[in-house]
Chain A
């Protein structure tokens, strides 16, 4: 039997104001492994052709900039743009540039604009790309914004999926890509009002936290290393939507609260300014649908 031709799905992955942590997190994918993603058919009959990814690609210099210019022409409306990092916009985008044209540095913002226009869809990977994240923390020296805000400012209307997290879990990214390849673009009801897939961001950390029983009983850790709910130590699980407590991290090895650390709310649009200071206890008023804290001292 002749083998059906494998469909190549072009993906262009641009890093802007990022620490590269999102890329490193995706390298940690287990099923599929990153080798499966790069080399094999990630779903039967479809291969992700990663045209540009600065952390892993062999090429460099002018040759790879050509890829960025040619991919939208050759695959108009047929490629996925992945944005990793927040987009610097202050002073004409001078705080982050990628390559040169005619002796002038090209702002990352210009690349995102030109690549987004002709994309099939855009995935904003990580909290920086989705909402601005760390780089957009006060006073936001580089004028960093998330992809949604940026595209609106350039009047580009394209399907956008936000996969926040600092970093995002590899399953959230791979699961989203697989879903697009198998079922097409997400339907409006698949995403929440922040354009996050409900499959991964539908529940609060607090709802599924293994330390929840301590909270309900009013047993609180007063110092790191103690058993008990981490609320008094600043946990942001009650205001953070993500499935970390069920999915766990790094091949199910551990996760933040599992290691005795309070959640720092890294998937939320308010990260970092609205969830910091990270070790400061949330106001009771910020606890959605939970009511008054029980068992407090005083």
Chain B
């Protein structure tokens, strides 16, 4: 039996540690630990409710936009104006969120994930005229390869030609994700941490020049998504097709949906959204979303046990750093007592299960290309494919929202802060289902709770001992080379973790397994 430690896991956001116990090279147990506590929810208590959008964006500088939308929907609902946001405000929010997701997913595939599959050093074999590739070759020839080495060796399978092309695309994608953020700032002001999304709508006004500028930046990004991003995902999938069978996970998916297609229904769980709300399991049947079924457990988290099993509206954040048996700063959210995965795969699966024709065609065409059943979606490559198809679906939907904007008409409605209120904001952020809950007393924040995608995906065991989605996805994985456990990074990154991670693979000879009980 061995225990593998990869610490830290890089190319993610935040601080996470995963420990894996292997027996005869197969993962028998896995622990995923969030390793950073800043306590934004604690810091929010007693503050002006409107400021929650500014603070919660700073939970994550990679996906701040999703937090700005969740916080703002939350405040809209607490202020009683969730069904009164002007259409301009709603469409601009959609455009800001869409731009953020395009930037995020390009970043994730090329800059966070690709180095697990693409061998940049093969650029040394390049003998063409492309100035970008030649500059990378010069860099590689100097031999100072940081930050591209050290890395896990032994399973780079792409041909030289594809490695070299993908290296050029890595560089191009740096430009594309930057341009997507620039597109966002046409309405959002700046990135990271946009300024415009606020309760009541948005601060920015709608003008024709902004619409045109946004549209043409979007066109350039759509070209890249269609002609570079999706083909590259498929090329990786062809060379690493065994990863359609690796990292299946818990088999339950949860989506809050995203992009409001109407603003009249104050209930976000029932509002018509481009990506659909609901639950999906391996049978691909859509279940209705009921937020009363969400509970957070902390038996294995560094928080007081008295705060376990609470709905987010009753949630508490009481740190207890040295608690026995705990191994993460993340809580363990559960839906109906069961383990659920969130992310692009979940929202694509929910939309697919709803029968939405465009998504159905996109997914079916990829599945048929690999001669795979929908079950193959529950895998490392399934997550990457869903993320890429989702990006295309959203980018293709954005011109329609741009053309519905009405220059000169308001994008904001004023309101008064109630003395006392509850609020809930639900959206699928880049990394999955994101919920914010607020309680207001005396016009101040009495309690604020965020249940974020990476808590769902990377959270620890719950009080019943059920491992979280990433922990389950690691279980049963064959580790070919314990000195180069590339399988672990590939599985963990397919979830697009938003924590700084540390994954551990330790040989237990002469070492105790550590502080975790292994059954």
Give chain B residues whose Cβ lies under 8 Å from the Cβ of A61: 5-9, 502-503, 505
Contact B37 A19 (CB under 8 A): no
Q: Is the CB of B185 within 8 A of A59?
A: no
Beta-carbon contact of B15 and A96 below 8 Å: yes
- The answer to whether A30 has its CB under 8 Å from any CB of chain B is yes
Closest to A53 in B: B147
- Indicate whether A141 sits within 8 Å of B191 (C-beta atoms), given known contacts A34-B174, A98-B8: no
Question: A107-140 CB contact bits vs B (8 Å, 1 = yes)?
Answer: 0000000000000000000000000001101111
Whether the pair A141, B195 counts as a contact (CB closer than 8 A) is: no
Contact status A134-B193, CB under 8 Å: no
Answer yes or no: B25 CB below 8 A from chain A CBs. Answer: no
Q: Which of B14, B15, B319, B322 is A141 in contact with, Cβ under 8 Å?
A: B319
A55, A60, A134: which contacts B55 (Cβ < 8 A)? Answer: A134
In the complex, how many angstroms separate the beta carbon of B303 from the nearest chain A beta carbon? Answer: 12
Q: Are B58 and A134 in contact (CB under 8 A)?
A: yes
Asked if B188 CB lies within 8 Å of chain A CBs, one says: yes
Within 8 A of B (CB), among A183-234: 223-225
Q: A260 and B190 in contact (CB under 8 A), knowing A21-B61, A39-B139?
A: no
Chain B interface size range:
35 or more
Question: Are B503's CB and A249's CB within 8 A?
Answer: no
* Count of chain A to chain B residue pairs whose CB atoms are closer than 8 Å in the complex: 286
Whether B50 lies near A278 (C-beta < 8 A) is yes
Chain A nearest Cβ from B298, distance in angstroms: 16
Q: Which residues of A contact B171 (CB under 8 A)?
A: 35
Answer whether residue A293 sits at the interface, using C-beta atoms and an 8 A cutoff: no
A51 touches B61 (CB 8 A): no
- Contact present for B43 and A138 (CB under 8 Å): yes
The docked-state distance in angstroms from the alpha carbon of A25 to that of B215 is: 23
Indicate if the CB atoms of B58 and A100 lie closer than 8 Å. Answer: no
Nearest chain B residue, comparing its CB with the CB of A279: B50
Q: Is the CB of B414 within 8 A of A223?
A: yes
In Å, the complex CA distance between A52 and B5 comes to: 19
Interface size on A, residues (CB 8 A): 85
Contacts of A17 in B (CB 8 A): 36, 38
Q: When the two chains form the complex, which single residue of B7, B40, B43 contacts A99, counting CB atoms closer than 8 Å? A: B7
Residues in A neighbouring B35, C-beta threshold 8 A: 96-98, 105
Indicate whether A286 reaches chain B with its CB closer than 8 angstroms: no
- 5 closest cross-chain pairs (CB), A and B: A21-B61, A259-B189, A141-B39, A61-B6, A261-B195
Give 27 CB contacts A-B under 8 Å. A18-B61, A19-B62, A33-B175, A47-B144, A52-B147, A57-B148, A58-B115, A60-B151, A63-B150, A64-B10, A95-B36, A96-B35, A96-B36, A98-B35, A100-B5, A134-B43, A224-B201, A225-B204, A225-B412, A256-B189, A259-B187, A260-B203, A261-B203, A272-B55, A278-B48, A279-B48, A279-B51
> A-side interface residues toward B, CB under 8 Å?
6, 8, 15, 17-25, 27-28, 30, 33-35, 38-40, 47, 49-67, 88, 91, 94-100, 103, 105, 134-135, 137-142, 144, 166-167, 223-225, 249-251, 253-256, 258-261, 264, 266, 272, 276-280
Known: A15-B500, A27-B178, A33-B174. 8 other contacts (CB 8 A): A25-B192, A49-B146, A58-B147, A61-B8, A63-B151, A259-B188, A259-B195, A261-B203
